[in-house]
Amino acid sequence: MKTNTKLEDITKEDITVSKKEKAARTFRKLLEQRQLQVMALIGVIWMFIFNYIPMYGLIIAFKEYSIIKSIGEAPWVGLMQFKEFLQDDNFWIVLKNTLGISLIKLFIAFPLPIIFALLLNELTSLKFKKMVQTISYLPHFISWVVLGGIMTTWLADIGILNDILLNLGLISERTNFLAEPDYFWGIIILSDIWKELGWSAIIYLAAIAGVSTELYEAATIDGANRFQKMWHVTLPAIRPTITILFILAVSGVLNSNFDQILILGNALNESASNVIDIYVYQVGIQNARYSYATAVGLLKAVIAFILLLSANKIVKKLNGNSLF
Per-residue pLDDT tens over the stretch 240-274: 999 999 999 999 898 888 899 999 998 899 999 99
Give the confidence band of 11 by pLDDT, cuts at 50, 70, 90: low
* Residue among 282, 97, 93 at smallest CA distance from 189: 97
Domain annotation covers residue 72: no
* Residue 190 pLDDT: 93
Q: Are 156 and 139 in contact (CB under 8 A)?
A: no
pLDDT of 45-87, one tens digit each? 999 999 899 888 889 999 998 888 888 888 999 999 999 999 9
| Chosen domain end from 62, 89, 104 | 62
Spell 161-182 as b/e; 16+ CB within 10 A means b.
bbeeeeeeeeeeeebbbbeeee
Same domain? 171 vs 280? yes
Q: At 287, is the pLDDT very low, low, confident or very high (cuts 50, 70, 90)?
A: confident
Q: What average pLDDT does the segment 232-247 reach?
A: 91
My answer on whether 24 and 105 are in the same domain is no
Show Cβ contacts of residue 235 under 8 Å, excluding neighbours closer than 6 positions: 118
Q: Are residues 46 and 84 in the same domain?
A: no
Domain range for 9 is 2-62
CB atoms within 10 A of CB 280: 22
Residues 108, 13: one domain? no
Q: Residue 68 domain-assigned?
A: no
Mean pLDDT rounded to a whole number for the chain: 87
Query: Which of the listed residues 62, 93, 111 is the one where a domain comes to its end?
Result: 62
169 in the same domain as 57: no
What is the per-residue pLDDT for 32? 86
pLDDT given at position 255: 86
Average pLDDT over residues 17-22: 73
Residues present in the chain in total: 324
> Tens digit of pLDDT for each residue in 123-171?
888 899 999 999 999 999 999 999 999 999 999 988 899 999 998 888 8
Whether the pLDDT of residue 12 is over 60: the answer is no
CA atoms of 284 and 287, how far apart (whole Å): 6
Query: Do 199 and 137 meet the contact criterion of CB atoms below 8 Å apart?
Result: yes
Identify whether residues 92 and 44 lie together within a single domain.
Answer: no
Looking at the structure, do residues 283 and 245 belong to the same domain, yes or no? yes
pLDDT at 7: 45
Q: What is the CATH number of the domain that holds 170?
A: 1.10.3720.10
108 and 50, same structural domain? Answer: no
40 and 122 inside one domain: no
Are residues 113 and 186 part of one domain?
yes
Q: Does residue 71 lie within any of the structural domains? A: no
Same domain, 261 and 303: yes
Residue 3 confidence (pLDDT): 52
Q: How far apart are CA 293 and CA 284, in angstroms?
A: 4
**Does one domain contain both 177 and 244?**
yes
pLDDT confidence of residue 82: 92
Number of domains in the chain: 2
What integer pLDDT is reported at residue 5 of this predicted model?
A: 54
Closest CA to 116 of 205, 35, 10, 11: 205
